[in-house]
Amino acid sequence: MKENLRVILSGGGTGGHIYPAIAIADEIRRRYPNSEIIFVGAKDRMEMEKVPQAGYDIEGLWISGIERKISLKNLMFPFKLYSSLSKSRKIVRRFNPDVVIGTGGFASGPLLRVAVSNKIPTLLQEQNSYPGITNRILSKQANVICAAYEEVKRFFPAEKTVITGNPVRLDLLKVSEKREEAQRFFHLDKKKKTVLVIGGSLGARRINQLIETWVPKFEKENIQLIWQTGKLYYDEYRKHNSDLVQTYEFLNRMDRAYAAADVIISRAGAGSVSELSIVGKPVLFIPSPNVAEDHQTKNAMALTENNAALTLTEAELEEKFEKTFFDLVNSEAKQKELGENIKKMALPNATANIVDEVEKLINKIEN
């Protein structure tokens, strides 16, 4: 296998597609320091900011998804698709990759389609138990599909689907060693409990509304709050900043945020579940009800049924949040139990397993 691998990664729209791609790129670069890696994303989406921050070049396509409701924006889709396919052909022709990796999101569609038509080896990485439409379409022609859940085999060709787990960033593997560093970074009082709230990269309206309601009680109980409101909601909630409450549009150093937390409140996207399992902290999941096949609830309940996390649906928050949350915050024994159990369900070698599949794929083509 040659040392100077040329790799294109594509995927984006949300952190759930971007960070797995960055984790895979980091592992490829670790194994092959001379490799050349570029990303392809959607213009004006968060990958255009987050990928360069991670140290990689990215090219943007003029592409977006189709609105599920009737919308004038859908009239532009054929033009965007044509533009994106044309630019993808130019990128592939110029870069001449050894492999193209897609992690989901509409940006990966045109690029993977072009790679397949040029007989370039392609690998898909699917984070969820219910795949997005882009990966479902691409799976028929991709060479390998790396997935986190056995359930996806009913959507993908089983003979080329490998269960690897979801890739996570290397900086999360040693979170337990960063506690003091994290407390200094966030200027926290070591004697007080710290709660981390993460609703996803764009934010979660219902979680933000919930936290706003309970801020006075948190402050009364001397609970420190690190609150990622998400890009869409930051301006609305930053007024709550105080000695005990820190609001952030986005947390660029999630390793420090996890390390600082005693208890975490989170959505249950596949990427978050994978990260939190490795981090090994007590979690209260509040799954988003606005996802296909209610897969976030399924993700969360897989842990809750193994006494590895707590789960409340949005419909249960009014009645059950207070008791569920404060019982957890006030019980170090319960925190320890959930933290130990969730760590048992982690797949910490997922990123390495995926890059193993990349190597197998390239060797197979070469031979």
Q: 63-100: string of b/e by CB count within 10 Å (b at 16+)?
A: bbbeeeeeeeeeeebeebbeebbebbbebbeebebbbb
Query: Which pLDDT tens digit goes with each residue over 235-272?
Result: 999 999 999 999 999 898 999 999 999 999 999 988 89
Taking a C-beta distance cutoff of 8 angstroms, is the pair 349, 163 a contact? Answer: no
Quote the pTM value.
0.82
Q: Which residues of the chain have pLDDT under 50?
A: none
Place of tokens 């606005």: 290
Taking a C-beta distance cutoff of 8 angstroms, is the pair 108, 6 a contact? Answer: no
DSSP 8-state code for residue 65: P
Binding residues for UDP-N-acetyl-alpha-D-glucosamine, by number, are 14-16, 128, 169, 201, 296
Q: Is the dihedral of CA 274, 277, 279, 284 positive or negative?
A: positive
Give the three-class secondary structure for 17: helix
**Which pLDDT value is given to residue 46?**
87
**Which pLDDT value is given to residue 75?**
65
Taking a C-beta distance cutoff of 8 angstroms, is the pair 335, 224 a contact? Answer: no
Q: Is the dihedral of CA 222, 208, 238, 266 positive or negative?
A: positive
Backbone angles phi, psi at 272, to 5 degrees: -65, -45
- d(C-alpha 142, C-alpha 326), whole Å: 47
- d(C-alpha 354, C-alpha 148), whole Å: 11
Query: Which pLDDT tens digit goes with each residue over 220-229?
Result: 999 999 999 9
Binding residues, by number, are 14-16, 128, 169, 201, 296
What is the Cα gyration radius of the chain? 21
**Which pLDDT value is given to residue 254?**
92
